[in-house]
Amino acid sequence: MKKIIPYFKERSGLSLLSIAVVLALLPVLGMSDTWLLYLFLFFSYLSMVTMWNLMAGYCGLISLCQPAFLGLAGYTLVIFTWSGLPFYLGIIFGGVIAAAFAAVISGPVFRLKGIYFAVGTLIVPEILRIVFYLWKPVGGQLQGGGAGYMLKGVSGLTLTEKYWFALVIGIGSVLLVRSILRSEMGLALAAIRDNDRTAASSGVNVFGLKVFAFVIGGFVTGVAGGVFFIYQEYIEPASTFNVRWTMTLMIATVVGGVGTQEGPIVGTAIVVALHFLLARYEGISLLIQGIILVAVMLLVPQGIVGTLRETRAYLLFRRLVTGT
């Protein structure tokens, strides 16, 4: 048995590498721009959903301030591009700023518990939305009715190049969480997920691990936000610090399966499909997504992955994603 387990882990790693190579070659093989856009959004959202699942599914942190990480990273990217610096450095530093912001606010917001923590984090993006309505981080003329900025130096990027950026951060986020959960830290996170009081009494540094997950989540979400904004090429406060982002991440995590490694992949695929299907119903799309979220919580509270745990297809999928 000890010889068989490493064999499957090795096979799983090779399978993931093969899939990553194939995905990277899709634009070269002639995939249409429509499907490239779908995959771009899938991998961009996947990284954010994976981080939200790490926080909510393993640490019990129902964080509603993800738009704050996105916005701070996006405006950092604006500052870098308007200063003539490479946009890819802006993406990285955007993640760093988002992580630093997560570390700073973790002190006060972690004093709140349960629903109070969720409400406390919900206020953060609203405060930043007002700040960026009033503050011009790079000066100059604001553009559009939303008081926004166009990004400089990214208009020459092709959809293929933007897709590759999203692919790297999407797969990277999955591998990051996979490595965390397979380490000793993963055992501690599993203990926190089951019962944080029992974990604390067993010597687990619950507070430290929650801060770690919060900061890592802020960094990866910020980097993913930077990648998204190089596609959009425009940023403004209302749509950036918007609860719609939080709703998207929650729906993907809950529909896929909270606290599972495979759930974010399944949930993100469904959310991106809904994004395209509901594009013509933009005025009520958020309402429809909310109804879907409530229906899933009532009918299949464990999510799709949780419901299909015993099927052979799930076991093969899990072996591919987690190597177990």
Query: DSSP characters for 149-183?
Result: EEPSS-TT--HHHHHHHHHHHHHHHHHHHHHHHTS
246 and 64 Cβ atoms separated by less than 8 Å: yes
Closest by CA to 67, choosing from 261, 217, 253, 207, is 217
Walk along the chain (324 residues) and give the pLDDT tens digit of each residue: 344 334 334 455 567 778 888 899 999 888 898 999 999 999 999 999 999 999 998 888 899 999 999 999 999 999 999 988 999 999 999 999 999 999 999 989 988 888 889 899 999 999 999 998 888 887 766 665 556 888 888 888 999 999 999 999 999 999 999 899 888 888 888 888 777 788 888 888 888 999 999 999 999 999 999 999 999 998 989 889 998 899 899 989 989 988 888 889 999 999 998 888 877 776 677 777 778 778 877 887 778 887 777 665 666 666 666 666
**Residue holding tokens 């982002």?**
245
Query: DSSP characters for 214-257?
Result: HHHHHHHHHHHHHHHHHHH-EE-HHHHS-HHHHHHHHHHHHHH-
Q: What is the pLDDT of residue 3?
A: 43
What six digits make up the tokens of 72? 């701070």
pTM: 0.87
CA distance 261 to 321: 7
CA distance 77 to 274: 28
